Homo-oligomer: A and B are copies of this chain.
Amino acid sequence: MATIRDVSRLAGVSVATVSRVINRSGYVKEETREAVLAAMRALDYEPSVIARGLAGKNTATIALIIPDILNPFFPEVARAIEDQANKFNYTVILCNSDNDPEKERKYIQVLKNKRIDGIIIASYTIEAPQILELQREGVPVVAVDRAFGSHPILSFICNNREGARMAARHLIERGCRKIAHISGPPVMSAKERYQGYVDVCGSESRFDPGLVAEGNFTIEGGYAATLELFARHPDIDGIFAGNDLMAVGALKALYQLGKSVPRDVKIVGFDDIALARMVVPEITTVRQPVYEIGRQAMKHLIKLINGEKIGQKTMRLDVELVVRRSSGEAADRV
């Protein structure tokens, strides 16, 4: 591979000049510039990312820390980020933290050592102080699927509470009289969705705290929670699951209980992961603009990396109710 010195030699100038044309910094006479460019082209020269990294420049690499790429929510985030990164010539390091603070810490250590340019993190466990410290050390950070109150941390998250309200209202509109909620683990997005559910159903005369069960954001959890709910309230006719995985779990449980969806029970999920359209019946859900969240996160991370002064706060993206068969009219049923 050609080096900057090869280029300088061929162009008959110093390496300093070559560096200037590469970085468009300082003055370079147009003629010289062109000679250098020609030499670069002739040698098929590409500046070594590693060398410029060592010299204090960017490494054109960012890291994405997520709990687990096996969770179907994250491939969509990862893809959006990678697409956007790629467009701006960044490369993405993938880190699965399993929501383990120790693992997170270790990754961050390694990433700093590798002088990556920035981090996008989706973590239920990380707390503001840790991120603020990273920022203090000069590492740009953007969070996704998480908010940090009034801390100056840029984060992209959807409007969970409003989405949950939409889901609950939809079930009511579809005629459900007794609506249960399968909540997620005690993390921010799950709590917000629970709140939205309570906003709408909490005042109903038929409301009962027993209509809520926790499902841990997993299929198994949603399955177990549904059995639990129906054991307590056999007359539930609507379920708002805190995410699509739990909605699928609910679907399986209802199938086993001999209930028909949507005739006997209607289901609404949250997220709109691909899975929601893969099962039968397809699941009505509150669509998070996941791709957009990833895109925006990466876009803004680049701004931070470039030193742009942008507001560091929580950005709420709108959600959208996607009506499918699981909440359809009974007549819709094949």
In the docked arrangement, what's the CA distance between A61 and B61, Å?
11
Q: Does A94 lie at the interface of the complex (its beta carbon under 8 Å from any beta carbon of B)?
A: yes
In the docked arrangement, what's the CA distance between A216 and B67, Å?
31
Would you give the 0/1 interface string for A39-77, flagging 1 where the beta carbon is closer than 8 Å to chain B? 000000010111101100001110010001110101110
Question: How far, in Å, is A162 (CB) from chain B's closest CB?
Answer: 27
Residues of chain B contacted by A70 (CB below 8 angstroms): 75-76, 79, 274
Residue pair B91, A91 in contact (C-beta under 8 Å): no
Q: Does A88 lie at the interface of the complex (its beta carbon under 8 Å from any beta carbon of B)?
A: no
Q: Does A96 lie at the interface of the complex (its beta carbon under 8 Å from any beta carbon of B)?
A: yes
Residue pair A68, B61 in contact (C-beta under 8 Å): no
Q: Does A105 lie at the interface of the complex (its beta carbon under 8 Å from any beta carbon of B)?
A: no
In the docked arrangement, what's the CA distance between A230 and B138, Å?
62
CB contact between A280 and one of B50, B51, B78, B255 (< 8 Å): that residue: B255
How many chain copies does the complex carry?
2
**Residue tally, chain A, CB below 8 Å to B:** 51
Residue pair A79, B83 in contact (C-beta under 8 Å): no
Q: Does A114 lie at the interface of the complex (its beta carbon under 8 Å from any beta carbon of B)?
A: yes
Q: Does A187 lie at the interface of the complex (its beta carbon under 8 Å from any beta carbon of B)?
A: no
Residues of chain B contacted by A48 (CB below 8 angstroms): 54, 113, 115
Residue pair B82, A113 in contact (C-beta under 8 Å): no
In this complex, what residue of B is CB-closest to A77?
A: B69
CB contact between A69 and one of B46, B69, B89, B96 (< 8 Å): that residue: B69
In the docked arrangement, what's the CA distance between A58 and B213, Å?
50
CB contact between A78 and one of B94, B112, B258, B275 (< 8 Å): that residue: B94
